[in-house]
Amino acid sequence: MAAFGHLAVAFTAGRVIDRPRPLGWMALFSALSMLPDVDVIAFVFRVPYEHPLGHRGATHSIAFAVLCGVAALLVRRDRRLALFTTAVVLTHPLLDMLTDGGLGCALFWPISNERLFWPVQPLPVAPIGHGMFSRRGLYVVIVEVLAFLPLVVFAFWPRRSARS
């Protein structure tokens, strides 16, 4: 999946957490929403795609999302932030599972390395690396923008300021 869908979820989480300076929270959640794709470094080290440490493996699991939430709890001692962290990281594989290509996500790693998709995959899979700068990459971005635009509009819709 290209980044737009993941970022749309992050922006929405930043709006929903309802704290001062939502742009800072949106930036933090944006980084967290993309964190599972740190596993693309596996391609550099020639780790096979289907390996548990390959792309869409361990970092695309429920366990990884919970681990990130626990890390947030230990660092900030804030249960709400830990919950949002877990949810934002977990949305990444759940959205990737809606794409129509590559391998699915190892959602239940380390119990199982089976790669899973949802029963329907309406989103086109993004080409990896330089492939994004192609007609296929442009098509993927357009589909994601159309699919996730409502979340972005919600996230950035102006708020009424509270009267004192």
- The token duo for 48 is 């096979």
Alpha carbon separation from 79 to 57, 69, 74, 151 (Å, rounded): 27, 9, 10, 24
- Please give the structure tokens belonging to residue 78: 């804030």
Q: Which is nearer to Zn ion, 137 or 156 (CB)?
A: 137
Binding region for Zn ion (CB under 5 A) out of 23-31, 94-102, 124-132, 133-141: 94-102
Does 144 contact Zn ion by CB under 5 A? Answer: no
Name the minimum Å distance from CB 14 to Zn ion.
20
Shortest reach from residue 127's CB to Zn ion, in Å: 13
Least CB distance to Zn ion at residue 97 (A) = 10
Candidates 12, 7, 8, 32; CA nearest to 22 is 12
Which of 98, 134, 132 is CA-nearest to residue 116?
98
Max Cα–Cα distance, the chain, nearest Å: 59
**Binding span for Zn ion by CB under 5 A among 75-83, 95-103, 126-134, 152-160:** 95-103
Which one of the spans 34-42, 82-90, 106-114, 131-139 is the region binding Zn ion (CB under 5 A)?
A: 34-42
Give least dist CB 48 to Zn ion, A: 16
Based on the shown chain and the rule CB under 5 A, indicate whether residue 39 belongs to the binding site for Zn ion: no
CB atoms inside a 10 Å sphere around CB 103: 17
Binding site for Zn ion (CB under 5 A): 37, 96
